[in-house]
Structure 1
Amino acid sequence: MKRLCMAFIALVGSASHWVFADDNASPIYGVTIPDGYRQWELVAPAQEADPLNELRVVLGNSAALKAYREGKLPFPDGTVLAKLAWKHEQSPDFKTASIPGAATTVQFMVKDSKKYAATGGWGFGRFINGKPVDQAQHETCFACHQALVKDRDYVFTKLAP
């Protein structure tokens, strides 16, 4: 009986070190959708041409907006940027206006220079209908940012005037 109890204690003790996958976290980075992100401030809007044909907005948490306004690069740890995207369609009320149609993705960049040291200090998350996309899509995130905007701390979006 004593051996059985000791084995149980050892098993329970080691269970505290087990890692359980979070179905809501992005592969590779473990980024999840932050609560309240839709109340963050606008960084900038954009219109993506073919083949995506999307309307996009980038939102930032308070750390992001403070860094943008002060012109500080690299962005500080704790910065989070959110990109919301929709297919665009013609407004039924105003023939020259595009309006958001179906939502396509919500994407996040999370700055943690220690946790994400291998990817310039950024973790990435891309979600469709609230669920993270597959690992293959996440493997492309940093490579694209690294190739095109390394000099801006890997961030494409500039603060709108």
Structure 2
Amino acid sequence: MLVATAALAGGGACMVQAATDAGATNASHDIALPAGYRDWTLISVAREEGRIDDLRAILGNEAAIEALRKGRYPLPDGAVIARLAWSYDELGESAQAFGQSQSHVAGHPKNGVQLMVKDATKYASTGGWGYAQFDPGKSYSTADQHACFACHSVVKDRDFVFNRFAPDLPTGTHP
């Protein structure tokens, strides 16, 4: 259950299932899938290999983006990070264009939407973060918040957030 959770782009598999409609909540901590989350700012992209095998976009609400852009940790209460994932599919046309297969794209959605929600008081036992997962067409169950937190504990120095804000082009290199 968590975006960025069980591997905010990192790895992991803390799974809590719920409806994918904006406003749906996870019963364990009343975490709602925010309306408009797909319009949030991109934090980073990630390629998850192994048994998970997906391509991820990590998005953040305004509070998360402001802190991450400045490298300010811990993130403030109210920060929310979302992880979207898709299959990692070969782009068939790339072999025609380049004479070999080399391009891959996001395919079908995978592993629902995962969220990390910062509230240092409410989620004190898990480093200040609540975790949730929303899967289409499935009823929700309670995620093991401590299992999600255990995976994220390896990045305690970054407030339990796997991904960093993706760097932009160096100043002066923009066309």
Q: TM-score, normalised by structure 1?
A: 0.78
Structural RMSD (CA): 2.0
Match of 2:92 in 1: 92
- TM-fit CA distance, 1:43: 0.3
User: Identity percentage over the alignment?
Assistant: 43
Consecutive unaligned residues in structure 2, runs of 5 or more: 1-17, 95-100, 168-175
Give the structure with higher Rg (CA): 1
Higher relative contact order (CA 8 A, sep 6+): 2
Residue 62 (structure 2) pairs with residue 62 (structure 1): yes
Deviations 1:10-69 (CA, angstroms, capped at 9, x unpaired): xxxxxxxxxxxx973224222121000000000000111111110001001111111011
**What is the count of residue pairs matched by the alignment?**
139
Equivalent residue of 1:159, what SS?
coil
Query: 1:120 is matched by which residue type in structure 2?
Result: G
List 4+ stretches of structure 1 deviating above 6 A. none
Gaps of 5+ in 1: 1-21
Q: Please give the secondary structure, in 1, of the residue aligned with 2:164.
A: coil
Q: Alpha-carbon deviations, 1:109-160, whole Å to 9, x = none?
A: 01011111111111111121175653356552112112x1111111101111
**TM-score, length of structure 2 as denominator length:** 0.72
C-alpha distance in structure 1 between counterparts of 2:139 and 2:77, whole Å: 23
**How much does 1:92 deviate?**
1.9
The alignment partner of 1:38 has SS state of: helix
- How do 1:1-161 residues align onto structure 2 when only pairs under 5 Å count? 24-94=24-94, 95-104=101-110, 105-129=112-136, 133-136=140-143, 138-146=145-153, 148-161=154-167
State whether residues 25 and 132 of structure 1, in contact with CA within 8 Å, keep that contact through their aligned partners in structure 2: no
